[in-house]
Amino acid sequence: MNKKVTISDIANLSGVSKTTISRYLNGKYEGMSEATRNRIQEVIEELDYRPSRQARALKSQYSSIIGIVVADISNSYTSRMIKGVMDRLNSTDYHTIIMDSDLNTKREANNIKKLIDEQVDGIVIQPIGESSLEYDFIPSGMSLVQIDRYVEPLKWPAVVSDNFLQSQNLGRIIAENDYKRVIILTPEIKNVSPRINRYKGLQNGLADYDVEVIIVTTNEIKDIVARDIDIWDQMKQYIYDDVKTVLYAFNGGLLYGLIRLLKEKNIPVPDKIGLVGYDDGALTDLFNPEITSIEQNPVEIGHKAADILLNSMAGKDIPIDLYCIDSKLNNRKSL
């Protein structure tokens, strides 16, 4: 087994002190000649020396680690947000730790505490708590950005979709197509910011029309296609009456699940019932009929969140605000 190369080895071959090598590794070149820097770099390359992250963190007080905590890593939308974050971070020297809360607040808290113990330089979080008060254990100086969701009172910047605006626009389209009832299918709304804003946006879009809104609460979706057996029992009473009705799925898993369910029950869209929703996988133009849907931009959300975090860690003043990324309303043939 080859002997592990140490700072002492680099110092001996470079003809300088270990302190000088340590300063070089941490980018502190003040008073160090260009010739010395070049000689150290040549020795490092010759010996293929790679300083341990832990050692550099102890010396520099920076870990070069960014933590990413997501609500449910199995969700395709979440995976694409992570891709957006990593697009930006891959061009930096930061390492990343990705942690899955699995929609469990205790696990989320443990994940965050582990990252704090690792002395991470910053955190990207998709929060599942109901209030920012639940996150008071996070050090006040921590660089942190919320992604997709946010908790209030707002303590950290958040990068989100324009949920209110597009749901409002969708509400107006629904009303203009003479629908008299909207059945919302969603996991429990509680204080989950995207669901709240989608619901409020829909209400605002329907404010000038006589349209009934009913919420059917489903299980949390941990699959690309919902298989909640209770969905049909809760909504079938609205399918076969004479009120012109549209189903509005608040996430892609529910939308794809409804497409499957309506096909199994031989219920034609839009002849018997309308169907709209959030398209987390950008697949709704592949169905027959093509589905009217809101298509978000999770990769761009990830890009923006990473940019904000990197600027925060660089010491720049970042306003604590909501940063909305445009989504797209695709008005197709399911209404």
Read off the pLDDT of residues 202-246 as tens digits, 9 standing for 90 and up: 999 999 999 999 999 988 875 555 666 678 888 888 888 899 999
> Does 65-160+299-326 match 163-296 in CATH topology?
yes
Q: How many CB atoms lie within 10 A of CB 77?
A: 20
Contact status, residue 66 vs residue 122, Cβ threshold 8 Å? yes
If you average pLDDT over residues 247-257, what whole number do you get? 91
Our CA dihedral for 119, 125, 131, 133, rounded to 10 degrees, sits at: 10
DSSP string, 217-281: EEPPP-SSS---THHHHHHHHHHSSSS-EEEEESSHHHHHHHHHHHHHTT--TTTT-EEEEE-TT
Cα distances (Å, whole numbers) of residue 9 to 51, 147, 243: 12, 45, 81
Query: What is the DSSP-derived secondary structure letter of residue 285?
Result: G
Q: At what angle do helices 34-47 and 7-14 cross, to 10 degrees?
A: 130
pLDDT score for 58: 46
Question: pLDDT > 90: what percent of the chain?
Answer: 63
By mean pLDDT, which of 19-23, 147-151, 167-171, 317-321 is the weakest? 19-23
Pairing type for strands 328-330 and 292-295 reads antiparallel
95-138, pLDDT tens digit by residue?
999 999 999 999 999 999 999 988 899 999 999 999 999 999 99
pLDDT at 55: 53
Whole-angstrom CA distances from 160 to 110, 115, 125, 253 are 24, 23, 12, 19
Stretch 1-11: mean pLDDT? 75
Average pLDDT of the segment spanning 269-294:
85
Among 151-155, 232-236, 293-297, which stretch is predicted with the lowest mean pLDDT?
A: 232-236
**Phi and psi at residue 190, to the nearest 5°:** 40, -130
Q: Quick one: tokens of 329?
A: 């309303």
Q: What is the pTM of this model?
A: 0.80
CATH class held by domain 163-296 = alpha beta
Lowest mean pLDDT among 59-73, 160-174, 179-193: 59-73
| Radius of gyration for the chain, computed over Cα atoms and rounded to the nearest angstrom | 26
CATH class as words, domain 7-52: mainly alpha
Q: What homologous superfamily is domain 65-160+299-326 in, according to CATH?
A: Response regulator (3.40.50.2300)
User: Whole-number mean pLDDT of the chain?
Assistant: 89
**Residue with the larger pLDDT of the pair 163 and 252:** 163
pLDDT at position 1 is 40
Phi, psi of 257 (to 5 degrees): -65, -40
Read off the pLDDT of residues 33-57 as tens digits, 9 standing for 90 and up.
989 999 998 998 888 877 655 555 5
CA–CA distances in Å: residue 61 to residues 7, 8, 57, 174: 18, 21, 5, 55
**β-pair partners for 66:** 96, 122
